Structure 1
């Protein structure tokens, strides 16, 4: 509103003095009363500028898809002109009888004023509002491209960590032991391993996935890790089904579990406990802290990647709350689009 008011005031001043110069050959009006015309011009331009934004949204790229492009452009221009004609009568012609009662407008002057108002409205619509919309769309394209890049990076990092030789060595080592000790559990472990890869690949390039899809990946990954670490690890999923339609960035929750396991040591006597829950529109991942004595080098990409993706998706921040006893991360649950 403030931006449009300032723009309307500047435009009114410029147009008013240009018309004065064209008509009288001077820039300044001698009598102060003459500037009442300037006030009328501002009263016409301000509502005109304010209504341009809804018109631009109405005829945006994702609206009115049925008419062909030339017909759509013609309808858009006609809509701008019709609105300007209505505003010319309401905010310029009628008030003129009260503010400038001595003014006598000839039919020629009325027609010229009418045409000028339509031309001004079209000029400012296409060179101000549409230009603003074009820049906004360009920014949106950049935002979507950046979000897609972050999603690709997260998926690549998740896959790279899963195919890491150390991870594969440990997984195959566990699988080899289970084949001799418990063939049924070995088959289950192999299924869990394939479920992890399948869930990772299923997300594709999607910037958001339903929470239920992310939980399928988390369950598969948690079962895999619990089989590997035994009683030293316990993962609890306490999610009300009502939240499973909400959206989250893919692999975000799985990355938080992976970070917790990577940076904490655990034993059967002091197990690592990870809890995933949801409340008040937030997905909460928390774990007790058992800092490793042989701390692994951190790439510092997991949490920053999640934060950057959320930055492109919503104004709600990712909350990170570390304490000496616990590490808590709260992810905003984004609403699913309504059909």
Structure 2
């Protein structure tokens, strides 16, 4: 709003002095009372610019798509002219004829005034408001491109971590042991390992996925880790089905479990406990803190990636709450993807 007030003030000064120059051949008005017209020009331009903003949104790139382009452009221009005529009548014609009828306006002057008013409104609309809308559209395109880049980076990072030789080596060792000791569990383990890769690939280049799909990935991943670490890892679930219809960035929850396992030690006597829950529109991942004896350097790449993706998606922040005893991350659950 401040931008529109400043723009209306600057435009009013310009239009007023151009009119003074055309009529008197000078840029200055002889008396202070003459500047009352400047106030009226400003009062006319401010609501005009406000209306222009609404017209620009109405005829945006993703609106009225069923209309032919030429018809849409013509209708847009007619709306601008119609609004200008209404405001001209309110701020100029009505006051001069009924409030302060000191000057009689000839039909020729009336037609000229209407034409100038329409041309000025079209000028300000197409060279001010539409230019502003174009820049906003460019910023939106850039924002969407950045979001797609962040999403792709997260998925590539997740795939890279899963295909990491250590991960495969450990998983195959577990699988080899289970084949000899418990063939049924070995089959389940192999199925869960396949499920992890299938869920990662299914995410594709999507910006958001239902929490239900993300939970399928997370449960499969957690089953792998519980099979690998045994009683040293406990994962608890408290996510009601109602929350699973909402949306999260793909692999975001899986990355939080991965971070918890990566940066904490665990034994049968002191297991690592991870709790995944949903409440009040938030998906919460909490784990007890147990520093590893072999310290793993943390770059916080995963958390930063999740935070950046959420910054593109919503004003609601990712909440990270570390304490000496626990580490908690709260992810907003979203209702829809942002408009492109």
User: Given the two structures, how large is their TM-score scaled by the length of structure 2?
Assistant: 0.97
**1:161 counterpart = 2:161:** yes
Q: Partners of 1:95 and 1:222 in 2: how far apart?
A: 75
Alignment gaps of 5+ in structure 1: none
Contact 2:313 2:337 in 1 (8 A): no
1:91 to partner: Cα distance: 2.0
In structure 2, the residue matched to 1:203 is 203
In structure 2, the residue matched to 1:182 is 182
In structure 2, the residue matched to 1:280 is 280
1:89 to partner: Cα distance: 0.6
Contact 2:207 2:337 in 1 (8 A): no
In structure 2, the residue matched to 1:192 is 192
Q: Partners of 1:241 and 1:181 in 2: how far apart?
A: 36
Q: Partners of 2:225 and 2:60 in 1: how far apart?
A: 49
In structure 2, the residue matched to 1:289 is 289
In structure 2, the residue matched to 1:125 is 125
Contact 1:40 1:95 in 2 (8 A): no
Q: Partners of 1:230 and 1:103 in 2: how far apart?
A: 94
Q: Partners of 1:16 and 1:100 in 2: how far apart?
A: 20
Q: Partners of 2:337 and 2:145 in 1: how far apart?
A: 20
In structure 2, the residue matched to 1:318 is 318
Contact 1:143 1:312 in 2 (8 A): yes
* Aligned pairs (5 A) from 1:250-269: 250-269=250-269
1:5 to partner: Cα distance: 1.6
* Aligned pairs (5 A) from 1:196-275: 196-275=196-275
Contact 2:151 2:206 in 1 (8 A): yes
Which has the larger displacement, 309-318 or 88-97?
A: 88-97
Aligned length: 338
1:337 to partner: Cα distance: 6.3
Q: Partners of 1:166 and 1:136 in 2: how far apart?
A: 46
1:100 to partner: Cα distance: 4.4
1:65 to partner: Cα distance: 0.8
SS at match of 1:294: coil
1:255 to partner: Cα distance: 0.2
Contact 1:40 1:96 in 2 (8 A): no
Which has the larger displacement, 4-13 or 32-41?
A: 32-41
In structure 2, the residue matched to 1:18 is 18
Alignment gaps of 5+ in structure 2: none
In structure 2, the residue matched to 1:115 is 115
Contact 1:43 1:92 in 2 (8 A): no
Q: Deviations over 1:149-174 (max 9, x none)?
A: 00001000000000000000000000
1:70 to partner: Cα distance: 1.3
Q: CA RMSD in A?
A: 1.3
Q: Deviations over 1:33-86 (max 9, x none)?
A: 222222221121111110111111111111111111111111111111111111
Q: Partners of 2:303 and 2:284 in 1: how far apart?
A: 14
SS at match of 2:245: coil
SS at match of 2:143: helix
In structure 2, the residue matched to 1:145 is 145
Which has the larger displacement, 154-163 or 327-336?
A: 327-336
Contact 1:36 1:99 in 2 (8 A): no
1:97 to partner: Cα distance: 3.9
Q: Partners of 2:100 and 2:34 in 1: how far apart?
A: 9
Q: Partners of 1:92 and 1:162 in 2: how far apart?
A: 71
1:98 to partner: Cα distance: 5.9
Q: Partners of 1:276 and 1:171 in 2: how far apart?
A: 23
**1:55 counterpart = 2:74:** no
1:316 to partner: Cα distance: 1.2
Q: Partners of 1:299 and 1:83 in 2: how far apart?
A: 56
Q: Partners of 2:126 and 2:333 in 1: how far apart?
A: 39
Q: Partners of 2:92 and 2:10 in 1: how far apart?
A: 17
Contact 2:174 2:228 in 1 (8 A): yes
Contact 2:237 2:276 in 1 (8 A): yes
User: Given the two structures, how large is their TM-score scaled by the length of structure 1?
Assistant: 0.97
Which has the larger displacement, 155-164 or 70-79?
A: 70-79
SS at match of 2:307: helix
